[in-house]
């Protein structure tokens, strides 16, 4: 990973594959409220966006949103429990890279700060 920036990586543990096509958004909610990145995850399960290289990242409070139910619905997989994951986190120093790997199913998930 590069210095600075936020990267997202999502894997569907039902299929064992990257979450290609999942809609994601990264917003900074403090000190201001601005969307810094949004789009669909690529075939590698990652968001290809300049935010991964640090564009638009300053100290503040952020929310990474993953549209889990919207990912499963067109695939014909019921998702009766999870809808959207809004993961709130803090960046005090915008220098180090923040990597957020998500492992998920219709019934649960794990999200943590990776390297």
Could you report the per-residue pLDDT of 60-112, keeping only the tens digit for each?
999 999 999 999 999 999 999 999 999 999 999 999 999 999 999 999 999 99
Q: Given this model, what pLDDT does residue 93 score? A: 95
Binned at pLDDT 50, 70 and 90, residue 2 comes out as low
CA distance 82 to 94: 31
Binned at pLDDT 50, 70 and 90, residue 1 comes out as very low
- Pairing type for strands 6-12 and 98-104 reads parallel
- Tell whether pTM > 0.85: yes
Segment 35-54 shows an average pLDDT of 97
Q: Which of 86, 88, 83, 91 is nearest to 107 (CA)?
A: 83
List Cα–Cα distances, 15 to 7, 25, 69, 75, 79, in angstroms.
22, 23, 15, 11, 14
Residue 68 dihedral angles phi and psi, to the nearest 5°: -70, -50
31 preceded by cis ω (within 30°)? Answer: yes
Residue 74 dihedral angles phi and psi, to the nearest 5°: -70, -15
């Amino acid at each position: 990973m590069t210095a600075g920036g936020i990267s997202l990586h999502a894997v569907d543990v039902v299929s064992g594959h990257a979450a290609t096509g999942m809609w994601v958004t990264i917003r900074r909610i403090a000190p201001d409220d601005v969307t810094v990145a949004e789009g669909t995850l690529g075939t590698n399960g990652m968001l290809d966006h300049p935010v991964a290289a640090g564009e638009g990242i300053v100290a503040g409070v952020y929310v990474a949103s993953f549209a889990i139910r919207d990912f499963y619905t067109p695939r014909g997989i019921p998702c009766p429990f999870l809808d959207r994951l809004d993961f709130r986190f803090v960046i005090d120093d915008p220098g180090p890279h923040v990597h957020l790997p998500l492992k998920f199913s219709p019934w649960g998930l794990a999200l943590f700060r990776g390297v």
